[in-house]
Structure 1
Amino acid sequence: MSKVVLITGGSSGIGKSIGEFLSHKGFTVYGTSRSPERYPDSKIKLVALDVADVLSVEKAIETVAHEAGRIDVVINNAGAGITGPIEDIPNEEIKRNFETNLFGPINVIKAVLPQMRKQNSGLIINITSIAGYMGLPYRGIYSASKGALELITEAFRMEIKDFNIHMTNVAPGDFATNIAAGRYHAPVVKGSPYEATYGKVLKAIDEDVDSGDDPIMVSNMIYKIINTPNPRIHYKVGAFMQKFSIVLKRVLPDKVYEKMLLNHYKL
């Protein structure tokens, strides 16, 4: 019997890539979207789900569990980008980003745990980001929301270990997806004290995404994890230097590492 996989944010980008890849591998795959009707040509079945709406999450989990009989793997992929000087980003946008990137996955985990306990098995994979390992200039809110999800996963793993349910993080680097199109970014304001530096960094961020790797790399990593009996706590996938930057943060003095980031962004 094929494993049943539920992927939040499965209509585009990395989530879509993962869904189609696992479907080709013989898994029973459900993706989610706030508006499934907008994707009539989706190659995987989409169910309605808004990660920020607890009732919507619970209904989607109930629908998939009833239809498929079980949920073996949940991939918390739905996420939102955000850029801007922290001083200039409206608090409502900061809260909205955390609702999607942190509280959203928590909502999904809470909703699916009873089903997985009933099965006495399950795997939850949280898609975080290499940006979550460091505070990046003009991406501080995104870094913070993804970093918080990394730590939540560490705690959750220990709390659910007696239920035969595994949980892990996958932190991608920059991949060629449409994330920039749906990202909130504070405008580059004429006369702002951040005008020159933020404009420069925003251009570099967009170029990094546009020249990013094929998201199939993430799909391969997810497939490998699903087939691993006892997954590690953290996985990173992306360009060598992006992954190596996490190692450097561990070993370099804080100010040396900060200087390296400032040089990278030409600040």
Structure 2
Amino acid sequence: MSKVVLITGGSSGIGKSVGEYLTQKGFTVYGTSRNPEQYKNSMFPILRLDVKNKDSITETVSYIIKKEGKLNVVVNNAGAGITGPIEEIPETEIKANFDTNFFGPINVIKAILPQMRKQQSGLIINVTSIAGYMGLPYRGIYSASKGALELLTEAFRMELKAFNINMTNVAPGDFATNIAAGRYHAPLLDDSPYKKTYGKTLELMNEHVDAGSNPNMMAEAIFKIINTKNPKVHYKIGEFMQKFSIVLKRILPDKLYEKLLMKHYKL
């Protein structure tokens, strides 16, 4: 019998690639979107779900369990980008980003855990980011939300061991997706003290996304994780230098690493 997989944010980008790959491998896949009617030609069903709405989460999870009788794998992929000088990002936008990138996955996990406990099995894969391993200039809020999810997973894993439920993080680097189009950009203000440096960094970030890796790399990685008996705590998926940046942070003095980041972002 095929495993049943729920992928939040499964209508485009990484989520779509993962869903299509797993469908081709024989999995029963359900993706989600806030506007599922726009994706009627999807290879797998796209259900309505907004990770910022608990009722929406409960309704969709209940539908899948009622229809399939089980839920084996959940990929917490829905996320939102945000850029800007921390000083100038409105508090409402900061909270909205954490609602999507941090509290959203928590509420999805809470909704599916009773079923996984009942099954005495399950796998939860939280899609974080290599940016979550370091505080990046003008991406500080995004780094913080993804870093928080990384740490949450470490704690959650230990709490779920007794129920035979596995949880892991998959941190992608830059992939060629539409995340840049959907993220919140703090405006480049003419009178801002950050105008010059923020403008240059914004251009560099967009170049990285446009020249990013093929999302199929993430799909293949997640397929392998699902077929791994004891998944690791953390996985990093992306170009060598992006993954190596995490190693450098671990071994270099803080100020030297900071200088390297500032040089990279031309600050």
TM-score bracket, shorter-length normalisation: over 0.9
Aligned to 2:237: 237
Aligned to 1:221: 221
Amino acid at match of 1:117: R
Aligned to 1:65: 65
Alignment RMSD (CA, Å): 0.4
TM-score for both structures, normalised by structure 2: 0.99
Structure 1: state its 5+ residue gaps. Answer: none
Amino acid at match of 1:221: A
Number of aligned residue pairs: 267
For residues 25 and 90 of structure 1, the distance between their equivalents in structure 2, rounded to whole angstroms, comes to: 44
Aligned to 2:173: 173
The correspondence of residues 14-163 of structure 1 with structure 2, limited to 5 A, is 14-163=14-163
Amino acid at match of 2:57: V
Please give the secondary structure, in 1, of the residue aligned with 2:125.
strand
For residues 252 and 125 of structure 2, the distance between their equivalents in structure 1, rounded to whole angstroms, comes to: 30
Residue 43 (structure 1) shift = 1.1
For residues 51 and 161 of structure 1, the distance between their equivalents in structure 2, rounded to whole angstroms, comes to: 25
Residue 41 (structure 1) shift = 1.2
After superposing on structure 2, the runs of 4+ consecutive aligned residues of structure 1 that deviate more than 2 Å are none
Amino acid at match of 1:27: F
Amino acid at match of 2:44: I
For residues 41 and 177 of structure 1, the distance between their equivalents in structure 2, rounded to whole angstroms, comes to: 19
For residues 13 and 108 of structure 1, the distance between their equivalents in structure 2, rounded to whole angstroms, comes to: 20
Please give the secondary structure, in 2, of the residue aligned with 1:148.
helix
Q: Deviations over 1:125-184 (max 9, x none)?
A: 000000000000000000000000000000000001000000000000000000011010
For residues 212 and 108 of structure 2, the distance between their equivalents in structure 1, rounded to whole angstroms, comes to: 28
For residues 46 and 141 of structure 2, the distance between their equivalents in structure 1, rounded to whole angstroms, comes to: 29
Percent identity (aligned)? 71
Residue 39 (structure 1) shift = 1.1
Please give the secondary structure, in 1, of the residue aligned with 2:180.
coil
Residue 191 (structure 1) shift = 2.0
For residues 23 and 61 of structure 2, the distance between their equivalents in structure 1, rounded to whole angstroms, comes to: 19
